[in-house]
Amino acid sequence: MTDDADPYLWLEDVTGETALDWVRDRNAETTAVLTDGERFETTKARLLEVLDADDRIPYPRRRGAYLYNFWQDAAHPRGLWRRTTLEQYRSATPEWTVLLDVDALGEAEGENWVWNSASVLKPDYNLALVELSRGGADATVVREFDLRTGEFVADGFTLPEAKTRVSWIDEDTVYVGTDFGEGSLTTSGYARVVKRWRRGTPLETAETVFEGKPEDVTVYAYRDQTPGFERDLVGRFPDFFTSEEYLVTADGDLAKIEVPDDAGVDVHREWLLITLRSDWTVGGSTYLTGSLLAADFETFMTGERDLTVLFVPDEHTSLSGTAWTKNHLILVELSDVKTRLEVLTPGQGEWSRAELPGAPEVGSADVIDTDPDESDEYLLNVSGYLQPATLLRGEVGGGLETLRQAPAFFDADGLSVEQHFATSDDGTKVPYFVVSGTDTSGPTLLYGYGGFEVSLTPSYSGGLGRGWLEHGGTYVVANIRGGGEYGPAWHRAALRENRPRAYEDFAAVARDLVARGITTPERLGMQGGSNGGLLAGVMLTRYPELFGAVVSQVPLLDLQRYHLLLAGASWMAEWGDPDDPADWSYLKTFSPYHNVHSGTKYPPVFFVTSTRDDRVHPGHARKMAARMIELGHAPRYYENIEGGHGAAADNSQRAFMSAIVYEFLLRTLAG
């Protein structure tokens, strides 16, 4: 196929009848082959048991006196938004107050509602901005909800379906960035304009407070409502990895927070945190990529650069995240992809530090919530590949309390987790985890992502256990470049023209698995979604000899047109601009859609996507499958009509989508 000729543009018409007829035909072909056996039905049922299990952990978020939770099960497939108290949560059978039944709402209104999120107004927590989508899309409808009455507010804040950013200022005012009409969106389809909207006034009369550029990713505004430190901030994202943030001064002017454009900033009480994505020389000192710095916010805004270094990475460690409590800062660090926790306490000139308990030896510990306005409480979720999740509650300086223990959904006896390192083409050591029994003669599944500085850390999956490990499968996760496992430098090493480094890393892991005798190419499958779906497409077209099966989910595959489809323009900082001849010169060398040929033997491949994915266009998977069929290959294809970027809108759909993928892999790799 030439650069300019694309015979399958008609498949980019998401809901066009001709395109949907093609989708229905492919779906019918795939389901006829993969869903007709007892193993598929059994796997699907057992996966649904995991997803609907009553003894799953109901992960909470504290908002004032209550713990909030969104819950889906067999009786409530679209879910319940509910809350309880900590005292009740500690009991074996908490009493929950249901705030919103999404299934009942959808039935009453004749809408296919899927829960997205809710923003509750501080400090009284009486009002919420609830976001619901149709079918699981990123675009949402916003409706104001009264937590005291359990009803939507008549004539309250309401916004039609769009990719909206909305946040509270006070009880009668919100910041909103949405589709205000022509020129109000960026080329990525997100808000270019943010306005201040007062209750009881038409949206079209809302006051503009900040505008970005058409080529930006998006803009934003928010009110920091911390008592005694109230402030308003606005900003823009010129691309996925850079931002500009401004303090709105008392007279309405904008004062820029003068940090490198690619640095992350976080303002909490009197403190400014700066996370560096590149070296920064300021005030006569140079601070290294991946470091975390702190400064007094007001002093920093006057031009002083008295910076305290809180974290510096080394060749084995990186900063994975931070979380404030009222008086302390929790650091989540990775040491060769294993979690380490520290707690820092501000002091006069010095910050004291101590180890925070709770991190497993091989696994992950994630701070899922804190209460930074009121207390030093934190909630910690701990798990590993063979370790079911435990939800812990602690207060800095105190002990840890086990709030919930997830059940074991599969038998882990005889299974173990090992970490190995493969050597990539340029000599870089690439870590990967292997979950297996002593006998690895069954199929092996290699998973990867490698983009956007996202780290793949060990975590428990009952579905993986039941759908794969219990069938004698070995599971492998590759921590390739492009991810964040070793900080910004690990990500930057596979940006744009260096993207092939990520693919070389993944191929090196595949070869290392064979060299260690863990598997063979015929028994090795690989899987990836979204950016990982692109990874899968490249493995298919560039390294077909390494794999016996490939699964590409909600993928990007046409790198010549990705920036023209849905949110694609927002990712050009990651891959490049296809309209720039210099960028296209390297993009075309690994764009899967442009590198599939008739004379090459490819492993069996399964493309999975969703019609309602309004982030990564389903046209990528559609066109790739159609192109392969034209060239004489026989890809499998399945497109869920609902589901958004997650390709499923409820637990039943999630079970089906996972089961059909496992069935494809087992049939292909294990016979």
Residues 337 and 484 placed together within one structural domain of the fold: no
| Per-residue pLDDT at 613 | 84
Please state whether 86 falls in left (phi above 0), alpha (psi between -120 and 50) or beta: alpha
Domain stop point among 406, 431, 463: 406
Residues 373 and 414 placed together within one structural domain of the fold: no
Distance CA 530, CA 534 (A): 7
Please state whether 632 falls in left (phi above 0), alpha (psi between -120 and 50) or beta: left
Distance CA 195, CA 233 (A): 13
- Average pLDDT taken over every residue of the chain: 95
3-state SS, residue 92: coil
Residues 439 and 465 placed together within one structural domain of the fold: yes
Q: Is residue 543 part of a domain?
A: yes
Distance CA 232, CA 395 (A): 29
Residues 427 and 384 placed together within one structural domain of the fold: no
Residues 416 and 402 placed together within one structural domain of the fold: no
Q: Is residue 352 part of a domain?
A: yes
Return the CATH number at 606.
Answer: 3.40.50.1820
Place of tokens 């795939």: 30
| Per-residue pLDDT at 645 | 59
What is the arithmetic mean of pLDDT over 586-603? 97
Q: Is the pLDDT of residue 592 over 80?
A: yes
Q: Is the pLDDT of residue 99 over 60?
A: yes
3-state DSSP helix/strand/coil % of the chain, to nearest 5: 25, 35, 40
Residues 501 and 609 placed together within one structural domain of the fold: yes
CB atoms within 10 A of CB 211: 18
Tell me the pairing of strands 524-529 and 444-447. parallel
Provide the 8-state DSSP code for 507: H
Q: Is residue 28 part of a domain?
A: no
Q: Please, which pLDDT band fits residue 362 given cuts at 50, 70 and 90?
A: confident
Residues 417 and 511 placed together within one structural domain of the fold: yes
Per-residue pLDDT tens for 617-630?
999 999 999 999 99
Q: Is residue 282 part of a domain?
A: no
Q: Is residue 171 part of a domain?
A: no
Domain stop point among 406, 439, 454: 406
Q: Is residue 7 part of a domain?
A: no
Q: Please, which pLDDT band fits residue 644 given cuts at 50, 70 and 90?
A: low
Among 494, 625, 610, 474, residue whose Cα is nearest residue 548:
474
Per-residue pLDDT tens for 341-352?
999 999 877 899
Asked if residues 597 and 645 have their Cβ atoms less than 8 Å apart, the reply is no
What's the structural domain count of the chain?
Answer: 2
Residues 348 and 402 placed together within one structural domain of the fold: yes
Residues 514 and 429 placed together within one structural domain of the fold: yes
Residues 562 and 416 placed together within one structural domain of the fold: yes
Per-residue pLDDT tens for 288-297?
999 999 999 9
Residues 454 and 583 placed together within one structural domain of the fold: yes
Q: Which range, of 79-83, 505-509, 564-568, 620-624, averages the lowest pLDDT?
A: 564-568
Residues 384 and 519 placed together within one structural domain of the fold: no
Q: Is residue 481 part of a domain?
A: yes
Q: Is the pLDDT of residue 319 over 80?
A: yes
Residues designated as active site: 530, 645
Whether the bond between 123 and the residue before it is cis, its omega within 30 degrees of 0, is: yes
| Per-residue pLDDT at 648 | 64
What predicted TM-score, i.e. pTM, was given to this entire model? 0.94
| Per-residue pLDDT at 155 | 93
Domain stop point among 406, 437, 456: 406
Q: Is residue 55 part of a domain?
A: no
- The domain of 636 spans 409-670
| Per-residue pLDDT at 160 | 96
Per-residue pLDDT tens for 241-266?
999 999 999 999 999 999 999 999 99
